[in-house]
Amino acid sequence: MTRTIAVVIFPGFQLLDAAGPIGAFEIAGRYAPQTYAIEVLAADAGEVASSSGVRMSAAALGEGPYDTVVISGGDGTRALGELSRIVAWLRAIAPSARRVTSVCSGGYVLAEAGLLDGRRATTHWGRSDDFARRYPKVRLEPDRIFVRDGDVWTSAGITAGIDLSLALVEDDLGAGVARRTAQQLVVHQRRPGGQSQFSDLLDMGGVHGRFADLMDWARERLGERLSVERLADQAAMSPRHFARAFTAETGTTPAKAIERLRLEAARTRVEASHEPIDRVAEAAGFGDPERMRRAFLRAFGQPPQALRRAARS
């Protein structure tokens, strides 16, 4: 079955908001031929200028059917009155689409169409205050990279559209194809949707900080035992000196940092997959589901099963 992906653009769209998802779906299609057909749509057929001035060709908004609708973001969303035809089209087409999604400030278009009322959503952190004022019915989660609430997915700024697209690919074709797609794109397999836009790795020393490489190393080994001694050995420091230096630089202990990474990974798998909870707990390094449940309650105020139900409601 071929799934038609409609990527919607408008004058002043952010080029990567469209190109990122297009690239992800195109490459995924190499590993699962005839899975995706990609259409770029706009209010009027022809070339559409992005915020950079680079133009992209688009067909006119159609009747579908569309499996997935992706609304790009960009400066053009600051003049929503000029996007009224897209908003009206989206409102009409959404019930027949399997999924409706947005990248960055494309969430404004979904909200204008009423598709986010009562739902969890995210958008670019720089516009979250304005978004929250405009759309009080939306349960905004401003620091999330992407959020799934049933058949509506929203994502944060620009490159988060690639994270979102990889999550959609995984939902369609499984983790193996998503992983191979990410490798071809030369990106991290997929940043967890629950990861902060400001990034726990940024909080824990920064991407150029002293322990950034160590956190990357740990993220790839969450299912293993990551004791202070092992982390210190990887950092080429004594355990005592490492624990003091890590806490001083990142503001958290090594144990809490590892738990945060595990929570990010586990929440993504809970919300975006059908894996049994005990398997998620094992893969994320919690060991047993009860330990993971307690960590979820501390961090998110809900157990894993509740977050999974909310993501599919």
Element (H, E) at 38: strand 36-42
Beta bridge partners of 49: 55
Predicted local distance difference test score (pLDDT) of residue 202 = 42
Helices (H), 122-192: 128-134, 160-173, 175-185
Classified as helix, coil or strand, 195 is coil
Backbone angles phi, psi at 143, to 5 degrees: -105, 10
Determine the Cα–Cα distance for residues 247 and 222; give it in Å rounded to an integer: 20
The confidence score (pLDDT) of residue 211 equals: 86
Q: Inform me whether the pLDDT recorded for 206 exceeds 60.
A: no
Q: Is 188 exposed, middle or buried (0-12, 13-18, 19+ CB in 10 A)?
A: middle
Determine the average pLDDT of the residues in 270-292. 92
pLDDT digits (tens, 9 = 90+) for 218-273: 988 999 999 999 999 999 999 999 999 998 888 788 998 899 889 888 988 898 88
**CA contacts within 13 A on the Cβ side of 279:** 6
Higher pLDDT, 171 or 22: 22
pLDDT above 70 (res 148): yes
How far is the C-alpha of 278 from the C-alpha of 290, rounded, in Å?
A: 9
Which domains occur in the chain, in start order? 3-185 (3.40.50.880), 200-313 (1.10.10.60)
Q: What is the mean pLDDT of the chain?
A: 89
The mean per-residue pLDDT over the stretch 34-43 comes to 97
- Express as a percent the part of the chain with pLDDT over 70: 92
Band the pLDDT of 208: cuts 50, 70, 90: very low
DSSP state, residue 96: G
